[in-house]
Amino acid sequence: MAALIAENFRFLSLFFKSKDVMIFNGLVALGTVGSEELFSVVAFNCPCSPARNYIYGLAAIGVPALALFLIGVIWNNHTWNLVAECHKRGTKNFSAAATFLLFGSIMGRASVAPITWSVISLLRGEAYICALSEFVKPSSLDKFPAEYGADVLAKFPCRDVPANLTKFRDEVTRRLRYESQLFGWLLIGIVAVLVFLTKCLKHCCSPLSYRQEAYWAQYRSNEDKLFRRTAEVHSRILAAKNVKQFFGFVALDKEEKELVQEFPVEGVQPSPQWNAITGVYIYRENKGFPLYSRLHKWAKGVEGNGPTPEGHELLFLAS
């Protein structure tokens, strides 16, 4: 039993540590669904007032979606690699196709959460009903009393209406919820088709075989993990040396003492080396041999960024 529990925990650990894009996007979508449900229960409260319903309803859908989109852009490493690339080397080495692929990668990943938020909001319907109830034409409602207008229609989402208008409120709510859910399902369908076409286009245009592309993905993941882990240890050891030089001693725990003894750090890497391994990377080959990252390219001593007879650039961005 204990072995089974340990194996399950190991599986969950590997699952949540995975860098697979589909798993990551799925987790983002699930988190967004939970956030939207919490927002609807706790925060959403239609004002039920003419001219305010529309603004509030659209804001409830659009503002969180915009915030999630910006967060997605900020958290994407490609964004800051692009900033570093433009700052250090400019965009002279970017072709139109490479630029399109790069922005498509950034926008595509950043769109997962806002699209999920919009879809769930539309399927629930509360925000849509709140926004558009006052715009329902009274003439479209059979035997709707002529003395009532948009001000009463705006109160339908709050159920604060005269008793003789209850059946009209139910009809308006049902009609708007139908429209909202229809738009939600259409949005799901459109996104699904776009994702399918994008995946097909990516694999059709890829210069790599399926196995090499899988190896490249594994290499990037392993390189990133090892680089981060090594950088953390290197910075800790360097900080310990500097603190010791200032105070004359440094308070280290047992693990840190072992690290300092095992990995001597003599200095720091110069800025040109950091610049060489930072920025946007497009898959390249040098004399028929693949270069899987900027760090790989630097380690092999390959100079230059643009396509040359010895270093052939292939327009396939690291995802």
The total domain count for the chain is: 2
In the predicted model, is pLDDT for residue 209 greater than 50?
Answer: yes
Q: What is the mean pLDDT of the chain?
A: 79
Residue 52 lies in a domain: yes
More confident: 30 or 207: 207
Residues 104 and 250 in one domain: no
Residues 180 and 123 in one domain: yes
- Rounded CA gap, 217 and 222, in Å? 9
Decide which of 163, 184, 205 is a domain's last residue: 205
Residues 179 and 86 in one domain: yes
| Domain, as residue range, for 99 | 33-205
Residue 24 lies in a domain: no
Residue 13 lies in a domain: no
In the predicted model, is pLDDT for residue 128 greater than 60?
Answer: yes
Range from 9-18, 198-207, 272-281 that averages highest in pLDDT = 272-281
Residues 157 and 248 in one domain: no
- Rounded CA gap, 15 and 49, in Å? 47
Residues 175 and 234 in one domain: no
Residue 109 pairs with which residues in a beta bridge?
Answer: none
Residue 269 lies in a domain: yes
User: What phi, psi does 289 have (nearest 5°)?
Assistant: -105, 135
Residues 97 and 123 in one domain: yes
In the predicted model, is pLDDT for residue 317 greater than 50?
Answer: no
Residue 76 lies in a domain: yes
More confident: 139 or 14: 139
Residue length of the chain = 319
The dihedral sign for the CA sequence 87, 275, 230, 18: positive
pLDDT tens-digit series, residues 150-195: 788 888 888 777 778 888 888 888 999 999 999 999 999 999 999 8
pLDDT tens-digit series, residues 257-269: 998 889 988 888 8
Decide which of 155, 171, 205 is a domain's last residue: 205
Residues 86 and 191 in one domain: yes
In the predicted model, is pLDDT for residue 4 greater than 70?
Answer: no
Residues 60 and 160 in one domain: yes
In the predicted model, is pLDDT for residue 22 greater than 70?
Answer: no
- Is 109 in contact with 71 (CB distance < 8 Å)? no
* Percent of the chain's residues with pLDDT above 90: 29
pLDDT classification of 318: cutoffs 50, 70, 90: very low
Residue 313 lies in a domain: no
Residue 306 lies in a domain: no
Secondary structure E strands in 156-296: 282-286, 289-291
Residues 86 and 189 in one domain: yes
Look at residue 37 in the predicted model and tell me its pLDDT.
Answer: 59
Calculate mean pLDDT across residues 266-285: 84
Calculate mean pLDDT across residues 46-55: 88
Residue 237 lies in a domain: yes
Residues 37 and 168 in one domain: yes
Residues 63 and 161 in one domain: yes
Residues 187 and 218 in one domain: no
Residue indicated by tokens 């899988």: 214
